[in-house]
């Protein structure tokens, strides 16, 4: 998490390369930014989850037990417009890397995102990025960041996402400092939906974080808010391309495909459980945002009204902060009030 232009996506690129998830030949800048407008503008709009294996060496400076660990990383947007996107992602995490530009220092969204992470009770790992810049004031901003988070300046990690300096040490520290997932592997399955996207061919693709139990391929699952039951056609992890798996266990982040085309069946913040011997208590979910700006949207051709409604439902699946309701105007006909 960080303010805009502080190097989050570049750091994510470097981590993908170091963990071997992305081949050097396939690597490109801002690898996780997939939308056309993200690549055009050079900004992150959608949070992206990715699974990375990281092997800790015996001679690591952090004093971590050597071995291979599985890390789930979510690269989040920095713009204030996408704060709700960040808050949803944080609910699926145990810790947050708070990134600050060593030349620009602490900015408005640094504080806003920090408060979101603290509100979600996450462990904060403070990191100074861009230490290779000529104008970097490392000691000054390390002291400021330490005061903000409540640690010693020496505990603030110093990295350069561009050159790769300090990123291996950061990965070791993430393994050391991030609490292991807490959940009961033998309990009925419960998974939190933190994002969904619509695929033209496969229908709704749902991204979940498993809290308890296990979700298995071909299980019949139930959405606890609607009671709708579906068969899981595919389950897997994002690494960073979709990789099929037999199941998802406690603490794992992955995707589910049920073949459902109705976008209203997969609500962000809902709890997924199994149809038979499922959980009775749903997870906390999310506080729904209140819209601040409203607009009336009317199709020029009245016959396009159903198409516009379908488009808005798919957009809402991708951006849960969007609200809309039908309205009628004597002059403009049928349309929607969008917030």
Residues 6+ apart with CB under 8 A from 287: none
Size of the chain in residues:
339
- 202: domain CATH number is 2.40.30.10
Q: Do residues 133 and 251 share a domain?
A: no
Q: What is the pLDDT of residue 83?
A: 63
Does the pLDDT at position 299 exceed 80? yes
| Residue 68 within any structural domain of the chain | yes
Which residue, 124, 142, 177, sits at the end of a domain?
Answer: 177
Backbone angles phi, psi at 164, to 5 degrees: 95, 0
Per-residue pLDDT tens for 300-321? Answer: 998 999 999 999 988 887 676 7
Would you tell me how many other CB atoms lie within 10 Å of the CB of residue 170? 22
| Residue 2 within any structural domain of the chain | no
Q: Give 37: exposed, middle or buried? Use CB within 10 Å, 0-12, 13-18, 19+.
A: exposed
Provide mean pLDDT across the span 283-294.
77
- 81: domain CATH number is 3.40.50.300
pTM for the whole structure: 0.81
Q: Do residues 111 and 147 share a domain?
A: yes
Q: Do residues 231 and 311 share a domain?
A: no
Q: Do residues 60 and 117 share a domain?
A: yes
How many independent structural domains does the chain possess? Answer: 3
| Residue 158 within any structural domain of the chain | yes
Q: Do residues 308 and 232 share a domain?
A: no
Q: Measured between alpha carbons, how far is 174 from 127 in angstroms, rounded to an integer?
A: 11
Q: Do residues 98 and 24 share a domain?
A: yes
| Residue 280 within any structural domain of the chain | no
Q: Measured between alpha carbons, how far is 24 from 255 in angstroms, rounded to an integer?
A: 26
| Residue 210 within any structural domain of the chain | yes
With bands split at pLDDT 50, 70 and 90, how would you rate the model's confidence at 123?
very high
Q: Do residues 163 and 237 share a domain?
A: no
Per-residue pLDDT tens for 262-276? Answer: 767 777 788 899 988
| Residue 331 within any structural domain of the chain | yes
| Residue 284 within any structural domain of the chain | no
Q: Measured between alpha carbons, how far is 15 from 330 in angstroms, rounded to an integer?
A: 56
Which residue segment(s) compose the domain that 322 sits in?
295-338
| Residue 282 within any structural domain of the chain | no
Q: Do residues 138 and 159 share a domain?
A: yes
- 317: domain CATH number is 3.30.70.870
Q: Do residues 66 and 120 share a domain?
A: yes
Per-residue pLDDT tens for 27-81? Answer: 555 555 445 554 455 554 456 778 889 999 888 888 888 999 999 888 776 555 5
Q: Do residues 225 and 88 share a domain?
A: no
Which residue, 155, 177, 199, sits at the end of a domain?
Answer: 177
Q: Do residues 256 and 115 share a domain?
A: no
Q: Do residues 35 and 95 share a domain?
A: yes
């Amino acid at each position: 998490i960080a303010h805009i232009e502080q190097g989050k996506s570049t750091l994510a690129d470097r981590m993908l390369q170091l963990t071997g998830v992305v081949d050097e030949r396939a690597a490109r800048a801002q690898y996780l930014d997939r939308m056309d407008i993200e690549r055009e503008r050079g900004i992150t709009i959608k949070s992206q989850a990715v699974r990375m294996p990281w092997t800790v060496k015996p001679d690591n400076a952090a004093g971590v037990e050597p071995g291979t660990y599985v890390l789930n990383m979510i690269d989040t947007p920095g713009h204030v417009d996408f704060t709700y996107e960040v808050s949803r992602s944080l609910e699926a995490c145990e810790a947050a890397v708070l990134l600050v530009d060593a030349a620009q220092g602490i900015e408005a969204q640094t504080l806003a995102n920090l408060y979101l992470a603290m509100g979600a009770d996450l462990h904060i790992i403070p990191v100074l990025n861009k230490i290779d810049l000529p104008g970097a004031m490392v000691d000054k901003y390390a002291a400021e960041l330490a005061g903000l988070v409540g640690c010693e300046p020496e505990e603030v990690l110093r990295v350069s996402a561009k050159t790769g300096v300090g990123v291996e040490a950061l990965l070791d520290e993430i393994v050391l400092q991030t609490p292991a997932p807490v959940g009961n592997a033998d309990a009925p399955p419960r998974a939190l939906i933190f994002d969904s996207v619509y695929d033209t061919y496969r229908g709704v693709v749902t991204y979940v974080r498993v809290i308890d139990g296990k979700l298995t391929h071909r299980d019949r699952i139930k959405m606890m808010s609607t009671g709708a039951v579906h068969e899981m056609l595919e389950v897997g992890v994002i690494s960073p391309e979709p990789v099929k798996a037999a199941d998802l266990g406690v603490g794992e982040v992955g995707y589910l495909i049920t073949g459902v085309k109705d976008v209203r069946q997969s609500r962000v913040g809902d709890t997924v459980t199994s149809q038979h011997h499922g959980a009775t208590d749903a997870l906390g979910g999310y506080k729904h945002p209140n819209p601040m700006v409203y607009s009336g949207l009317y199709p020029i051709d009245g016959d396009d009204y159903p198409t516009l409604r379908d488009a808005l439902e798919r957009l809402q699946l991708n951006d849960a902060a969007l609200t809309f309701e039908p309205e009628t105007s004597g002059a403009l006909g049928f349309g929607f009030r969008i917030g």
